[in-house]
Chain A
Amino acid sequence: MTVISTAFAPLARVTAEGVGRVALPIVVVPHPVGDRDESVVHGRGAEIAALCAQLLTTPAAQLEREFRSKQFPLPDALMPR
């Protein structure tokens, strides 16, 4: 499982595909995380803690069905090509 901020969600998908893990469970948190106060980072963690626990205790086959084709929101201000 990978936790990533919105700016890097497409990167997480490409990297997962590159290493052969096309169904890697990816959890997205608001960007940015780096250079933010520890309290902000803790807050981001608290918001996704339950989801992470659920993903870590769900059978892999079930997660694969969900995440193989899951669409993630595009980063802010990314214009359509």
Chain B
Amino acid sequence: MTALQMPILDDGDDALDRINDYFYEQGWTDGLPIVPPTPERVERMLAGMPAHDADELIGAVPPKFGHATLRQVAVNAVMAGCKPEYLLVVVAALRAVMEPAYGLEHRQTTTHAGAPLIIVNGPIVQRLRINCGTGVFGPGWRANATIGRALRLVLVNIGGAGPGVDASQTGHPGKYTYCIAEYEAANPWQPLHVERGFCPEQDVVTVVNAEAPHSMTENVQTEPLEIMRTFASSMATLGVNNLYSQGHPVLALGLEHVQYLADGGLSKRDVQTALFEMARQPWGLMKNRGKSKGPRFPEFVDRSDDRSMVPIINAPEDLIVIVAGGAGGKSMFMPTAGGQSLSVSKLIEP
């Protein structure tokens, strides 16, 4: 294992272009200009986690196994444009993707088009103004833009997953930044972190290696079963990895849809169970297409019967259901690579 020695440069009055050219040439950026990580800026960033030693090792990031000390993470957070108070979210997200269940080693280098989607829950969402409403996946909010970008820069600069090593055939825009919050105030059910055993007042990140969001429009139907039918058709397509290898795909319910579902008497678990049952394809249609059948392929699928229906998840609770976005009749679906990379939730610790 080697420690990455990221140089901390002094930026003079007119040196910004030169510094950015140098960082780009070294392969230390995502292609966008960075904020030069001067010693002063790095120290200010580290002040965002005052209880921790700057040399504390968060972990060795694959595939290069560079040592992610708190200082090195802070350098990348500065480069990404983070405020110091964002640092603890970046660190929590890094700790989460380094959990074995996430499978960072293969997520960093796969041909699949996944990126670490960071979902933030808890009071910190309001405190840091992490967008959870209108335009949740889009630009305009510094916390969303820079927290996700900081994690990406850590994965590239410390983990070594730059262009070429990251073998993603197409990549996707979420590889620049992919950070959202759940709109807990609009959620009639338990928010994600509470569903996973945390207290409502705790701050939590959940990471899941997700494809780009796919919009599911249902502006006409208001009956829960019909809304769910539209979702199921959009989610269990023959090209989606989860059909062949399941895992933890994400459903981000829009405000109108979640209200219709709740008003119809459905709980979150009802929604998960319904989509577990409905988002399927017959084995006979998919057995010789798509991709190889991955780990955790459901044992209950009868492979001797072409009519046996294959779900995109192994159990209802494997579908991550959150509420996010603004007004309108759209929800978002985010497939994942499948069962080899699962979601992980981590407490955000000061």
Contact A14 B2 (CB under 8 A): no
A78 in contact (CB, < 8 A): yes
With A15-B63, A18-B2, A20-B2: A7-B160 Cβ-Cβ less than 8 Å: no
CB-contact partner of B27 in A11, A20, A74, A81, under 8 A: A81
Task: Give the CA-CA distance A23 to B261 in the complex, in Å.
Answer: 59
Task: Give the CA-CA distance A14 to B165 in the complex, in Å.
Answer: 8
CB-contact partner of A35 in B1, B109, B163, B291, under 8 A: B291
- Nearest-neighbour CB distance to chain B for A19, whole angstroms, equals 7
B111 in contact (CB, < 8 A): yes
Contact A17 B64 (CB under 8 A): yes
Considering only residues 1-45 of chain A, those with a C-beta below 8 Å from chain B are 7-8, 10-11, 14-15, 17-20, 32, 34-35
* Across-interface contacts of B325 in A (CB, < 8 A): none
Q: 1/0 contact trace for B101-136 toward A, CB 8 Å?
A: 000000001010000000000000000000000000
Considering only residues 49-81 of chain A, those with a C-beta below 8 Å from chain B are 74-75, 78, 81
CB-contact partner of B160 in A18, A20, A34, A35, under 8 A: A18
| Complex A-B: 5 CB contacts under 8 Å | A10-B164, A15-B63, A18-B62, A20-B1, A78-B164
* Across-interface contacts of B109 in A (CB, < 8 A): 8, 11
* Across-interface contacts of A34 in B (CB, < 8 A): 292
**What is the interface of chain B, defined by CB distance below 8 A to chain A?**
1-2, 24, 27, 62-66, 109, 111, 160, 163-165, 167, 291-292
Contact A19 B164 (CB under 8 A): no
Contact B291 A19 (CB under 8 A): no
* Across-interface contacts of B62 in A (CB, < 8 A): 15, 18
- Extra A-B contacts (8), CB below 8 Å, given A15-B65, A32-B111, A81-B163: A15-B62, A17-B2, A18-B1, A18-B2, A18-B64, A18-B66, A78-B163, A81-B27
**What is the interface of chain A, defined by CB distance below 8 A to chain B?**
7-8, 10-11, 14-15, 17-20, 32, 34-35, 74-75, 78, 81
Task: Give the CA-CA distance A34 to B109 in the complex, in Å.
Answer: 14
* Across-interface contacts of A32 in B (CB, < 8 A): 111
CB-contact partner of A18 in B65, B111, B292, under 8 A: B65
Contact A7 B2 (CB under 8 A): no
Contact A11 B292 (CB under 8 A): no
Contact A15 B64 (CB under 8 A): yes
With A34-B292, A75-B164: A14-B64 Cβ-Cβ less than 8 Å: yes
With most chain A CB atoms within 10 A of its CB, the pick from B1, B163, B292 is: B163
* Across-interface contacts of B164 in A (CB, < 8 A): 10, 74-75, 78
With A18-B2, A35-B292, A81-B27: A11-B165 Cβ-Cβ less than 8 Å: yes
Task: Give the CA-CA distance A77 to B291 in the complex, in Å.
Answer: 22
Q: Which residue of A lies closest to B169 (CB)?
A: A7
With most chain A CB atoms within 10 A of its CB, the pick from B2, B64, B291, B292 is: B64
* Across-interface contacts of A11 in B (CB, < 8 A): 63, 109, 165, 167
Task: Give the CA-CA distance A81 to B27 in the complex, in Å.
Answer: 9
* Across-interface contacts of A8 in B (CB, < 8 A): 109, 167
- Nearest-neighbour CB distance to chain B for A1, whole angstroms, equals 18
